[in-house]
Copies of this chain bind each other. A is one copy, B any other.
């Protein structure tokens, strides 16, 4: 536990040692008190986290939202104490009482770090692989934001230059999403990203030899990273926590500005617990009273004291507050000079800090003339993006290798690519705005989360709807974190056609609607698509998914022939076209199936049956409306209701009740022309008419 320090590089005193040891024991005590949690890594990573928080990172404990701060991501979220204890020691707002309340109801110290819940937490981690992938997004966002605000500054000289630091674990690197994101980081040459990989060779099933035998350093070299290895547990030698070496490695990492950096650090989990160090027993459960006691004795601490922090320790570590304020003041000078020299960019910065939309943005939204042949909603979405791009520089995004299919490339906009990564088809620059995720939906989702949690940009990412499954864990986290990211999920039904059942979403609408806090929007035509984008952009406190058709959909004549205005999309559900008089039956459709409702309405009218057509692009928005509004669309007294949607019926019965009918699918698709599939699978005006009569 003693450290040879070289003052010329890293200032490190006996008090620092004591602070690190205090951190270890706080971790052991906290887990012991609640009876569950992960003490092992919090103990062995204490010197690493302490070095980062106290010696390396630029941050201001008094303002965890300071735009100039370095970012820290604890990808190994189960080791949340690693971070909580530094937030306490450094004076970021947590106190001893918070550590004592670990993992209990209402505490600021939940089992895993939660974004928006505890100051100083940059992203929610716990599901492994996500944090490091979020960090890739943060590093990308840093570059994009710099490009928006201060593109001409020399490297390292802009107030918008900072680093992103990550501590990750074996589990993070076993998860495929981290490999995807790390590959993207290599392509993007993210020199501001520094990952410290804690290799302790222990996971929940104990020795990782049973499942993880890679040469991880070599793998990161293959991704194009700058790689260093530090071994604190050299065979045959005493375990030495060489923080000096770590500090130097971090400096070496920062010196490499055209590659992300990977520092492989070999540690002993649970160090220095005399019996449980290096074992799975210290990973995911309390050490036990005896072992905590033995550890304290070994370290020269009083075994009868719990949560003990000497005054000199906390005084020493809380000096960070003053250092942070000094750093902040120096930054502020630089920032103010930039602001004065760049008033327009400063205005953009201010607007983006608040996630406000620019004046007049709605005026550029395209409208689409009535057209029976129509356009695919994915194509309409592309036109919306092209129209918005010039007025909303904060809007950026791309696709997981399906740009042309997802229509995610706004006309004439540059790609976000280093100079030597550009292609004939996609040029741009390091400050570009069109993202190329490769065939990596999961990393796309996680990177989007990192981008959105970093700053005020609005990011979108596209893939085929059925492959939303690949990115689902990241979507759930976006919803948990309430991040305003937008998914552009195209090819939304059996309308996909020839690619067949692996590519045709059936259960997918129900599955993504299940995600609490995600708005799922499936517009029925081009004008609904434009209004859907508009409403999504108005909301800046949640993620949204646009679910778009591959095939052309008729553009209905808005404002004439009884068709409602497309701005009603914002209500989530609205009367698209009413009958004369009180409706006998309500036909509810979404997306490409609304057209069958409209056609059925006419047929029913010819038979003297009054049917109302409701377009319901977003269940979540509809649910947010007043009871009165919802009742005006779906009057309680009209029991006959039909839902038409090319997916499973799950979830619709709450709206249509006992008498309701669904025109839906309860089987997978097939490989054939999409139009034919709609017919074969019973999506026709006649089928809707039949269901309506059944319902009556």
A105 and B174 contacting across the interface, CB-CB below 8 Å: no
Q: How far is the CB of A108 from chain B (nearest CB, A)?
A: 10
Bound-state CA distance A178–B177 (Å) is: 11
A511 to B187, CA, bound (A): 34
A34 at the interface (CB under 8 A from B): yes
Interchain CA distance A437-B208 in the complex, whole Å: 11
Is A421 within 8 A of B213, CB to CB? yes
Give Cα distance in the complex from A372 to B437, angstroms: 53
In whole angstroms, how far apart are the Cα atoms of A358 and B377 in the complex? 54
Q: Judge if A93 is at the interface, Cβ distance under 8 Å.
A: no
How many copies of this chain does one complex carry?
2
B110 in contact with A425 (CB, 8 Å): no
Contact indicator A667/B399 (Cβ below 8 Å): no
Given contacts A480-B668, A648-B514, contact A401 B205 (CB under 8 A): yes
- Interface size band for A: 35 or more
CB of A231 within 8 A of chain B? no
Query: Are B223 and A105 neighbours in the complex by a CB distance under 8 Å?
Result: no
A258 on interface, CB distance cutoff 8 Å = no
**Which residues of B lie under 8 Å from residue A476 when comparing CB positions?**
469, 507
Q: How far is the CA of A151 from the CA of B284 in the complex (A)?
A: 38
A71 at the interface (CB under 8 A from B): no
Point out the residues of chain B lying under 8 angstroms from A78, CB to CB: 499
Question: Shortest Cβ distance from A416 into chain B, in angstroms?
Answer: 10
Nearest-neighbor residue (CB-CB) of A518 within chain B: B507
Query: Which residues 213-231 in A have Cβ within 8 Å of B in the complex?
Result: 213-216, 218-219, 221-224
A513 an interface residue at 8 Å Cβ cutoff? yes
Interface string of A173-215 (1 = CB under 8 A from B): 0111111100110110000000000000001111111111111
Query: Mind listing 6 A-B residue pairs with CB under 8 Å?
Result: A111-B498, A206-B425, A210-B436, A222-B222, A510-B511, A510-B650
The 9 closest A-B pairs by CB, nearest first: A176-B176, A211-B438, A110-B671, A105-B672, A207-B423, A126-B502, A219-B222, A653-B653, A218-B222
A residues near B, CB below 8 A?
34, 36-37, 77-78, 103-107, 110-112, 114, 124-129, 170-171, 174-180, 183-184, 186-187, 203-216, 218-219, 221-224, 280, 399, 401-405, 415, 417, 421-426, 436-440, 442-443, 466-467, 469-470, 472-473, 476-477, 480, 497-503, 506-508, 510-511, 513-517, 648-651, 653-654, 657-658, 666-668, 670-673, 676-677, 680
